[in-house]
Amino acid sequence: MLLFSIFKVIHIIAGFTALLVFWLPIVTKKGGKAHVRSGWVYVIAMGTVAISALVMGIWRIGFDPDKTVESVAFAWFLIFISILSSATAWYGIRVLRYKNRKAAHRQPVDLLFPALLVASGAAMSLYGATIDFTLLTWFPFIGIFLGTTQLVYWLRPPGRKLHWWFEHLGGMLGCCIATITAFTVFGAPRLLGLSSVHPLVWFMPTIVLVPCIIGFSRYYHKKFNSSKSA
């Protein structure tokens, strides 16, 4: 129980750090010092969130003497958030590492995360449908989608210039979805003293941020094409 409490404190501190800084890389000059430094702070915070969430989820499922069907369901969601956040953050970093590649990329460590994201998303969705838990039934589809697009990107030769830039953007904003969703599901209700919130609120980060990913991609695609033409 003491170990769980320690990881819970670490998780809360890291989670709030991620919430405080996640917007800085978005609004600062891309590639500038502020962008890079705040981006690394966010990645480290989310790495800590992912590890602590995994530990707490496993403890809740396997060792909590007071566990209920609902608490176990939320524990599985916590584990899925851990996989989603770590997979998207790792992807956002690794596409920069291999931005000059010309052929398909088959490094096992880079294929493992998206494959795990797809597999865990499918398993979580099936589990959520089995126990009639809306969040676990539908939210994992974002993980299935992101994991599939990551696998497609790695296994094919790059199809457009500055491909790594757009993939980095999508990966990090996908991680932001995990950050804000976790806060919406776990943090906000506790801060506001609410026993539960409407399921629609759980999906608001996805509803808002997915169009942002599309919008940012289109904006920069036009910007880069305009610069090239000029």
The confidence score (pLDDT) of residue 196 equals: 61
> From CA 152, how far away is CA 10, in angstroms rounded?
35
Q: Which of 160, 43, 26, 170 is nearest to 95 (CA)?
A: 170
Residue 170 lies in a domain: yes
Tell me, what's the pLDDT at 227?
A: 54
Mean pLDDT of the chain, nearest integer = 87
- pLDDT value of position 55: 93
What's the pLDDT score for residue 230? Answer: 47
Task: Of 39, 37, 146, 20, give the one whose Cα is nearest residue 83.
Answer: 146
Q: Residue 230: inside a domain, yes or no?
A: no
Tell me if 45 sits within 8 A of 13, measured CB to CB: no
Domain that holds residue 163: 2-222
Half-sphere CA count of 103, side-chain side, radius 13 A: 2
Q: How many folded domains does the chain comprise?
A: 1
Mean of pLDDT values over 192-204: 68
- Does residue 227 belong to any structural domain of this protein? no
pLDDT single digits (tens) 150-197: 999 999 999 888 899 889 988 998 888 888 888 888 776 666 665 566
Q: How far apart are CA 228 and CA 106, in angstroms?
A: 31
Question: Is there a domain that residue 228 lies in?
Answer: no
Torsion (CA) 7, 8, 9, 10 in degrees, nearest 10:
50
Q: Does 82 fall in a domain?
A: yes
- pLDDT bracket for residue 99 (50, 70, 90): very high
Whether residue 229 is contained in a domain is answered as no
Q: What are phi and psi of 124, to 5 degrees?
A: -65, -40
Q: What is the pLDDT of residues 17-61, one digit of tens each?
A: 998 998 898 888 888 999 999 999 999 999 999 999 999 999 999
Is residue 106 domain-resident?
Answer: yes
31 occurs within a structural domain? yes
